[in-house]
């Protein structure tokens, strides 16, 4: 006998209007709908447990999001897909069973219905590995893959090289710095508060760190921290920070362009890099996504998992409670209030 069809009350977070400028809680609302699942539909109903809160979502909320070919725009009132982890409540396919834990593209909502296919990013979680479920959203999710792929595949660090990481206490930067130390590099990070600077130096093992808000001249600051120049710059910020880093890069330096959060909300802060620096120093700048390394996720995660078990990596997570906290959690990213990976735990 087939199980009965199922309907569940489902709350979801959406935007009230296209977002321009720094996002605020007022740009969002929580709506109610019904999530429907039926036997024989081939679909899977998931109760979401943890939601990933990521700055790139902002670019989907702008009116101009269509200009970014890799970013699907979000219309006011639409549900917002995001990376998340959840538990299967009902399944009409052999691949997933009731009670399975999954991680992949779900949504900022209580429940998500998806249909398994090669184009749907979803995987079952092996809880026998003994890691917290939150790690699937952070170090084993898009943040960890961005950090690992960006450093080792894009920048290819060599022992003894110098590495500068901006937004170094964030979900990606906090991992990049630790990975670079394991590669034998000299690592300096910047962050926006003294508490974050202390975290980088005292807990995460960076060789040095500084508060960029205390530096009136970023080019001079980087010259001070890197008297022999920068070999690798992991870019999360854009704007003046990119200009300062390029001015201090060594010949054949590599820049992994992961994000430019300062430019997302303020077009006036766009970086104006000195391209003569790029030419004469033969600097490589490469933009990338975590998805570029999708085929290597398992390989990366195996290495990272060993490092965590051996105590070589500290995972920093910042968890808020309840679906209604999603708007404030997202807005806080753009005020620099998160430390490590920002997540929301659903009740």
Indicate if 175 and 153 belong to the same structural domain.
Answer: yes
Beta-sheet strands, E only, within 96-137: 101-105, 111-114, 122-124
Domain annotation covers residue 300: no
- Provide Rg for the chain, Cα atoms: 21
Residues 6+ apart with CB under 8 A from 33: 10, 11, 12
Domain annotation covers residue 149: yes
Which among 280, 298, 340, 40 has a CA at the least distance from the CA of 148? 298
Question: Domain range holding 276?
Answer: 142-290
State which residues of the chain have pLDDT below 70: 1-2, 64-71, 128, 261-269, 271, 347
Indicate if 45 and 125 belong to the same structural domain.
Answer: yes
| Rounded (5°) CA angle 330-269-287 | 70
**Distance between CA 171 and CA 55 in Å, rounded?**
10
Say if CB 180 and CB 148 are below 8 A apart: no
Domain annotation covers residue 304: no
Which among 62, 90, 68, 82 has a CA at the least distance from the CA of 13? 82
Express each pLDDT in 176-192 by its tens digit: 999 999 999 999 999 99
- Give the CATH number of the domain where residue 88 resides: 3.90.180.10
Indicate if 171 and 282 belong to the same structural domain.
Answer: yes
Indicate if 184 and 159 belong to the same structural domain.
Answer: yes
Domain annotation covers residue 245: yes
Domain annotation covers residue 303: no
Indicate if 146 and 255 belong to the same structural domain.
Answer: yes
Domain annotation covers residue 196: yes
**Distance between CA 208 and CA 198 in Å, rounded?**
9
- Give the CATH number of the domain where residue 206 resides: 3.40.50.720
Indicate if 103 and 126 belong to the same structural domain.
Answer: yes
Domain count of the fold of the chain: 2
Indicate if 150 and 283 belong to the same structural domain.
Answer: yes
């Amino acid at each position: 006998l087939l199980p009965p069809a199922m309907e569940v009350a489902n709350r979801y977070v959406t935007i009230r209007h296209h977002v321009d400028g720094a996002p605020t809680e007022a740009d969002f609302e929580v709506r109610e709908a019904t999530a429907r699942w039926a036997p024989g539909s081939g679909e899977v109903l998931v109760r979401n447990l943890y939601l990933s809160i990521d700055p790139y979502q902002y670019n989907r909320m702008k009116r101009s999001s269509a200009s970014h070919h890799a970013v699907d725009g979000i219309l006011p009132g639409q549900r917002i897909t995001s990376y998340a982890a959840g538990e299967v409540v009902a399944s009409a396919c052999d691949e997933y069973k009731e009670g399975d834990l999954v991680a992949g593209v779900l949504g900022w909502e209580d429940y998500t219905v998806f249909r398994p296919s090669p184009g749907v990013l979803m995987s079952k979680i092996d809880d026998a590995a003994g890691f917290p479920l939150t790690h699937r959203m952070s170090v084993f999710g898009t943040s960890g893959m961005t950090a690992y792929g960006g450093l080792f595949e894009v920048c290819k660090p060599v022992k003894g090289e110098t590495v500068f990481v901006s937004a170094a206490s964030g979900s990606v930067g906090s991992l990049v710095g630790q990975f670079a130390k394991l590669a034998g590099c000299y690592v300096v990070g910047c962050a926006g508060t003294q508490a974050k600077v202390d975290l980088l130096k005292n807990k995460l093992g960076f060789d040095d760190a500084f508060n960029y808000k205390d530096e009136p001249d970023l080019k001079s600051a980087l010259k001070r921290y890197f008297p022999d120049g920068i070999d690798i710059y992991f870019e999360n910020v854009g704007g003046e920070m990119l200009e300062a880093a390029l001015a201090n890069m060594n010949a054949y330096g590599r820049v992994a362009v992961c994000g430019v959060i300062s430019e997302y909300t303020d077009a006036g802060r766009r970086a104006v890099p000195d391209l003569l620096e790029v030419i004469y120093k033969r600097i490589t700048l490469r933009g990338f996504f975590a998805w570029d390394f999708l085929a290597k996720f398992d390989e990366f995660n195996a290495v990272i998992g060993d490092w965590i078990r051996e105590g070589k990596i500290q995972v920093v997570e910042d968890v808020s409670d309840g679906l209604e906290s999603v708007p404030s959690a997202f807005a806080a990213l753009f005020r620099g209030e998160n430390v490590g990976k920002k997540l929301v735990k659903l009740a």
